[in-house]
Amino acid sequence: MKKGPQITIIEEAAEVIEAHIVTAINPACEHLIFIGDHKHLEPKHHYVINNGIPYTCLQRQHKMRPEISELMRHMYPKLYDNENVLEYDNIKGIRQNMYFITHDYHEQYNGDGKSFSNEHEAEYVEASSTLTKKSKGWQTVVQKIKSNNKANTNHAYPKQDCGTSFGKALPLYCQNHPEQDRIMAELLWDFDRAPEGGCALFCELRLECRHVCRLRCHPFDKDHKEYECRTMCPKVCKDGHKCKKRCHFPKNLVTVK
């Protein structure tokens, strides 16, 4: 009797070369399952699909905003959105929920022999995370259309009718002070002009403890339910000692003289 798993599952099958698949199959295998996307990156054996072998393609997506999933339908015409992605809030701090940034920073070839990385793109995404990390359903998409000026036909590309969704700088927007001049974030330090996702103005909202918020303008936590006052406590105990703690309102931990 042959021993071994009767079912073998190959994950990321489009990226696995045939030699590795053959070595993973044991004599007892009766069912071989490939899970992957033959339209993603450069498939190693897409002819399996092209030769008519039956396959099933998932059609419902639960992550992408409708603006993004629409771009995918030239590759996946039967793709449709689950209800949860229709409930995403607009991204705070940016004028548009989807925007393509064009730049001239070349990517670097990694030592693994088959992938590239772009340090500028990674740092740009990290800098923009201050604006987007608290938005429900936010997504940062870095899509490589060309590789160091060489066309890469294995990747999707945005449709030409995206209009104003293209540019060299991300158009930032302050929901609290829309009259302020907008910030065009082309370089990494441009995001420093909106450190809390709003603008450079101080919040200065009067808190329940009667101190003011010391943050720069922020579109999140407008009611200051999560904000902790940073002002040092001005109270003095009956022995004349000044409290060395930060504001601890409404907890009255000392006796006021």
Q: Which of 61-75, 80-94, 132-146 has the lowest average pLDDT?
A: 132-146
Q: Which residues contact 173 (CB under 8 A, 6 or more apart)?
A: 93, 94, 95, 182
**Which among 14, 13, 37 is positioned nearest to 25, based on CA atoms?**
13
How large is the average pLDDT for residues 201-230?
90
pLDDT of residue 158: 47
Question: What does the pLDDT look like over 17-55, one tens digit per residue?
Answer: 888 888 888 889 999 888 888 777 666 666 677 777 788
Which of the four pLDDT bands, split at 50, 70 and 90, describes residue 81?
Answer: very high
pLDDT of residue 150: 53
Q: Which residues contact 206 (CB under 8 A, 6 or more apart)?
A: 212
- Cβ atoms of residues 235 and 243 within 8 Å: yes
Which of the four pLDDT bands, split at 50, 70 and 90, describes residue 164?
Answer: low
pLDDT of residue 133: 59
Question: What does the pLDDT look like over 112-131, one tens digit per residue?
Answer: 666 778 888 888 888 887 66
Q: Which of 37-51, 91-105, 172-186, 238-252 has the lowest average pLDDT?
A: 37-51
Q: Work out the mean pLDDT of the chain and round it to a whole number.
A: 79
- What is the token pair recorded at 205? 């909202």
pLDDT of residue 125: 85
pLDDT of residue 43: 64
Q: What percent of the chain has pLDDT over 90?
A: 14
- What is the token pair recorded at 216? 């720069």
Which of the four pLDDT bands, split at 50, 70 and 90, describes residue 60?
Answer: very high
pLDDT of residue 118: 87
